[in-house]
Structure 1
Amino acid sequence: MTRTWILPMLLALCGALVSTGLLLGGSPGEAAAILLVFVLLAGVNSPLVFPRSTGALEAQRRSAVDGRPVVFWRPGCTYCIRLRIRLGRDARRLHWVNIWRDPAAAEAVRAANNGNETVPTVVVAGRPHTNPDPEWVREQVSPSA
């Protein structure tokens, strides 16, 4: 198991344990509600809510061809999740790169952020922008549609 799945698996496991305790204590409705909340949290923190990641070099090559921004992200990052959710369907039009899967991507993020792996880092026209406003990112995608 890679580290991208550790947080979602821990959330699901905690939800199962808490729900089991509530179920054994005679609260089946509360157990079901708690389990649902933990499963939803696990889903939101999993890589499944993000479009398929590519490598940094491939994303930069594609961006040079089509002009779409590159988003460097990592699982479990609340700011990355916020960006992904606020972009909605437009998120699929960006090039997403998971820095935990690609050492070159992590290095690119460190170079843009004074040695820190601060994400999301969005690269537009070769210029990095750290944790930009989702509406601004949407504006960067719209002209290249």
Structure 2
Amino acid sequence: MTRAWILPLSFMAPGALVAATLFVRGSADGAVPVLLLFVLLAVVHSPLVFPRSVGAAEAQARSAADGRPIVYWRPGCKYCLRLRFRLGRDAHRLHWVDIWRDPAGAAAVRAANDGDETVPTVLVAGHTHVNPSPEWVRTRL
């Protein structure tokens, strides 16, 4: 769980330090935008921007019942972010599995990618697709 928050915290710590330095030097007008920028970077790279993750077993059961794709992802992955943001509201219709929180999800990704944890890996009707275009995923909904 803590590994997912390392990247966001690595944005927040220097951002707070720079903003505090600017504030102490008397530049409150400069400190606020810097702090807001680093907070935004931290939020974008955190698990907060993704729909709630479920375990791999639960995602497979739900996908079998409703036919929706499963997306295996991890926080900080720029390709996962691209997929999430380009899908927009449709992202909530998918089953998301955070491979850093779920060892079974990580094992499923490694099995599909010759031992690599390449994400996003999308499972549709038993077939895996690595880093598919958001438009392609949207057509599978």
TM normalised by structure 1 equals 0.94
The one-letter code sitting in structure 1 at the alignment partner of 2:129 is H
- Give the equivalent residue in structure 2 for 1:45: 45
- Give the equivalent residue in structure 1 for 2:29: 29
Query: Aligned runs of 1:70-89 on 2, under 5 Å?
Result: 70-89=70-89
**In 1, distance between residues paired with 2:27 and 2:85?**
33
| Most deviating of 119-128 and 27-36 | 27-36
- Give the equivalent residue in structure 1 for 2:9: 9
The one-letter code sitting in structure 2 at the alignment partner of 1:2 is T
User: Per-residue deviation at 1:26?
Assistant: 2.6
The one-letter code sitting in structure 2 at the alignment partner of 1:94 is L
Secondary structure class of the residue paired with 2:97:
strand
**In 1, distance between residues paired with 2:77 and 2:18?**
24
The one-letter code sitting in structure 1 at the alignment partner of 2:74 is R
**In 1, distance between residues paired with 2:103 and 2:9?**
24
1:44-103: per-residue Cα shift (whole Å, max 9, x none)? 111111111111011011111101000000011111111111111000000000001111
| Most deviating of 8-17 and 63-72 | 8-17
The one-letter code sitting in structure 1 at the alignment partner of 2:72 is F
Give the fraction of aligned pairs with identical amino acids, expressed as a percent.
68
RMSD of Structure 2 on Structure 1 (CA): 1.0
Secondary structure class of the residue paired with 1:57:
helix
The one-letter code sitting in structure 2 at the alignment partner of 1:52 is R
Query: Unpaired segments of 5 or more residues in structure 1?
Result: none
- Give the equivalent residue in structure 1 for 2:68: 68
- Give the equivalent residue in structure 2 for 1:128: 128
User: Per-residue deviation at 1:25?
Assistant: 2.4
User: Per-residue deviation at 1:27?
Assistant: 2.0
**In 1, distance between residues paired with 2:70 and 2:5?**
23
